[in-house]
């Protein structure tokens, strides 16, 4: 079995990074405009960054988006982009997950062969999901909200809101 392993990152460290990003871009609301962030903000701070919208036959089956660190390019399925523009939570999360790979895994990560389960803190997919959740659903601003409120104010799916709600009370 082949498993990707990234340098360990705690939830706390990831939240420090997402809070920093939100502060730097003056986002004090719950709502984070992830589409404008990819289209306007990242290209303004990183001129080597590219993003492209892809049709489904350009991506592997079942793939909605991906970030390629070798050419600093993000590819997003056009339908995912369209739905993210309409504030559909699941699609916003898909893009935020790739933004997580952009910030956390620009140097790539190693693929180690192991039969053992790796700790979640070293799993690049766990790290990107934790980043997406923290960026779209900041703990401080959502601390006393219900799952429904988180879903409506942050424009995320019910499932993502529920996970963040449980995280907020940990
Ligand atoms: Zn991923």
What would the 3-class secondary structure string for 5-67 be?
ECCCCCHHHHHHHHHHHHHHCCCCCCCCCHHHHHHHHHHHHCCCCEEEEECHHHCCCCCCEEE
Strand partners, 65: 76
Confidence of residue 111 (pLDDT cuts 50, 70, 90): low
Instruction: Quote the ligand 1 centre to 91 CA distance (angstroms).
Output: 13
User: What residues have a C-beta under 5 A from ligand 1, the ion?
Assistant: 125, 128
Which has more pLDDT, 12 or 113? 12
Instruction: Quote the ligand 1 centre to 111 CA distance (angstroms).
Output: 14
Confidence of residue 110 (pLDDT cuts 50, 70, 90): low
Instruction: Quote the ligand 1 centre to 105 CA distance (angstroms).
Output: 10
Instruction: Quote the ligand 1 centre to 11 CA distance (angstroms).
Output: 16
The per-residue pLDDT for 170 is: 77
CA pair distance 154, 87, nearest whole angstrom? 9
Instruction: Quote the ligand 1 centre to 133 CA distance (angstroms).
Output: 13
Instruction: Quote the ligand 1 centre to 143 CA distance (angstroms).
Output: 26
Instruction: Quote the ligand 1 centre to 33 CA distance (angstroms).
Output: 20
The tens digit of pLDDT for each residue in 52-74 reads: 999 988 888 889 999 999 999 99
State pTM to two decimals: 0.93
The per-residue pLDDT for 165 is: 96
**Average pLDDT of the chain?**
92
Instruction: Quote the ligand 1 centre to 28 CA distance (angstroms).
Output: 26
Residue 1 has pLDDT above 60, yes or no: no
Burial class (CB in 10 A: 0-12, 13-18, 19+), 124: buried
The tens digit of pLDDT for each residue in 119-144 reads: 889 899 999 999 999 999 999 999 99
The tens digit of pLDDT for each residue in 70-86 reads: 999 999 999 999 999 99
The tens digit of pLDDT for each residue in 4-44 reads: 888 889 999 999 999 999 999 877 889 999 999 999 999 99
Instruction: Quote the ligand 1 centre to 128 CA distance (angstroms).
Output: 6
Terminus-to-terminus CA distance in the chain, angstroms? 33
Which has more pLDDT, 113 or 137? 137
Residue 112 has pLDDT above 80, yes or no: no
Instruction: Quote the ligand 1 centre to 29 CA distance (angstroms).
Output: 26
């Amino acid at each position: 079995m082949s498993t990707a392993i990234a340098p360990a990152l705690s939830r706390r460290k990831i939240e420090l990074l997402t809070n920093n990003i939100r502060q730097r871009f003056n986002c004090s609301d719950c709502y984070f405009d992830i589409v404008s962030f990819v289209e306007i903000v990242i290209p303004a701070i990183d001129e080597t960054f590219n993003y492209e919208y892809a049709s489904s036959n350009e991506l592997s089956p079942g793939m909605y988006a991906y970030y390629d660190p070798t050419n600093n390019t993000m590819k997003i399925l056009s339908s995912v982009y369209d739905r993210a523009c309409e504030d559909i939570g699941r699609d916003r999360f898909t893009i935020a997950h790739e933004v997580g790979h952009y910030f956390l895994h620009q140097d790539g990560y190693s693929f180690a062969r192991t039969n053992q389960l790796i700790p979640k803190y070293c799993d690049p997919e766990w790290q990107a999901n934790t980043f997406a959740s923290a960026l779209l659903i900041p703990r401080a601003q959502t601390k006393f909200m219900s799952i429904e409120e988180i879903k409506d104010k942050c424009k995320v799916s019910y499932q993502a809101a529920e996970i963040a709600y449980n995280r907020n009370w940990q």
